[in-house]
Structure 1
Amino acid sequence: MSPAQAEVRDLNLALWTAVEEGDLDRLGAIWADGPEAESITCVHPGWPVLRGRTEVLRSYALIMANTSYVQFFLTDVQVTLDGEVAILSCTASLLTGMGEEDGGDEAGFAGGQAVVTNIFRRQRGEWRLWLHHASPVLAEADGDDEL
C-alpha cells in the first residue's frame, strides 16, 4: 500500500471513529468544504440521497443524537488512487446498543453489515471525503440456501 493509500485508509478510519465517539467537529473536518461543499453526497443505508455539506452533517448529527452506542468493524478495505481522487471500498460491520431508550423492553445489542464506497478528493493538499455510499447487506434467514 502506498503512503497516499494509507493516508486515505486512515482518514476513512477516522470517519468511523468520529461517528462512534459522536464527534461532529471531527466528522466535519473530514468532509469536503469550500467550493465542493454543495456537491458532496451521502447515502446512509435505507435513506434517500443527501446532497450538500449542511444536509449531510445534519444527518450525522441526527444519527449520533439518536444512537446510544455504536461500534464499527471494517474489513475488505481497498483503496484505489486516480490522480486527485481516491476510491475506498470496504465492508462495515456494526454493533449498536438497543434498550428502553431505543424502543426496546430491555438492554441488548443489534448488529448489521453494509458495503461501503467512499470517494475522497484532494482539497488544498489534503484528502477530504466527497461521497459516502453505504448499502445494507441482507442476511440469509435460517434455513434459506438462496436469496
Structure 2
Amino acid sequence: MSAPHTDVEQVELANTAFYEALERGDFEELSTLWLTPSDLGVDETYHDPADTGVVSCVHPGWPVLTGRGEVLRSYALIMANTDYIQFFLTDVHVSVTGDTALVSCTENILSGGPAPEDGDGPGPLVGQLVVATNVFRRTDAGWKLWSHHASPVLTENAEGEDDESTG
C-alpha cells in the first residue's frame, strides 16, 4: 500500500475518532486528539506556545476560538450541556500534502439538550446540517487536529425562503 493512501486512511481514522469522542462525551479522548505545542517540538519553557501551531475552532454561530485552552473549554461546555449528540458524516473528502491534511465533510447532527424537569432522557431531538473543515497535522503520535471550522447550511423552508437548517 502506498504511503499517500495510508496517510489518507490514517487521517480518516483521526477524523472519525474526533466525532466518536464527541458522541461519547469523552473529554479526555477529545483532548488527546488536538495538537499540543510539544507535538510541534515547542518547548513551552522557552517559547510562547501561542506563537507556534496555535489551534483554532469555529462552532456554528460562535466567534473564532484560538488556543488549546479556549478550544477545549468550548468542547467541555458543549458536552456539559448536551445530553445526546450523534454525527452522520457525508461528503467526506480527505486531502493530504506533506504533514498537513484537510478534511471537508457535511455533519448531519442529531442532538438533544438537558432532560426536561419532568422526564428522563434528553430534551427534544433537533437535527442540524453543518459543513465542516478539519485541518490535521502529522505528529510523532499520529494525526492531530489543528483547526475545526463548522458552519450551518442554509436550506429552503416550506415558503421558499432561505432558512438556517435546524431540523
Q: Which residue of 2 aligns with 1:118?
A: 134
Q: Secondary structure at the match of 1:59?
A: helix
Structure 1's 146 and 17: CA in aligned 2 closer, same or farther, altered over 3 A?
closer
Task: Establish whether residue 54 from structure 1 lines up as the match of residue 69 from structure 2.
Answer: yes
Structure 2 unaligned regions, length at least 5: 41-48
* 2:9 pairs with one of 1, 6, 11: 6
Q: Secondary structure at the match of 2:155?
A: coil
How far the C-alpha of 1:125 sits from its partner, in A, is 5.4
Task: Establish whether residue 31 from structure 1 lines up as the match of residue 34 from structure 2.
Answer: yes
Identity %: 48
How far the C-alpha of 1:124 sits from its partner, in A, is 2.2
Structure 1's 4 and 88: CA in aligned 2 closer, same or farther, altered over 3 A?
same
Structure 1's 94 and 28: CA in aligned 2 closer, same or farther, altered over 3 A?
same
Structure 1's 69 and 146: CA in aligned 2 closer, same or farther, altered over 3 A?
closer
Could you state the TM-score of these two structures normalised by the residue count of structure 1?
Answer: 0.89
Mapped contact 2:154–2:162 kept (Cα < 8 A): no
Task: Establish whether residue 87 from structure 1 lines up as the match of residue 90 from structure 2.
Answer: no
Structure 1's 80 and 108: CA in aligned 2 closer, same or farther, altered over 3 A?
same
Mapped contact 2:11–2:94 kept (Cα < 8 A): yes
Could you state the TM-score of these two structures normalised by the residue count of structure 2?
Answer: 0.79
Q: Secondary structure at the match of 2:149?
A: strand
Structure 1 unaligned regions, length at least 5: none
How far the C-alpha of 1:10 sits from its partner, in A, is 1.1
Q: What CA deviation, in whole Å up to 9, does each residue of 1:32-85 have, x standing for no partner?
A: 002556310000000000000011000000000000111000001000011110
* 2:111 pairs with one of 96, 103, 112: 96
Task: Establish whether residue 16 from structure 1 lines up as the match of residue 9 from structure 2.
Answer: no
* 1:141 pairs with one of 136, 139, 157: 157
Mapped contact 2:91–2:104 kept (Cα < 8 A): yes
Q: Which has the larger radius of gyration?
A: 2
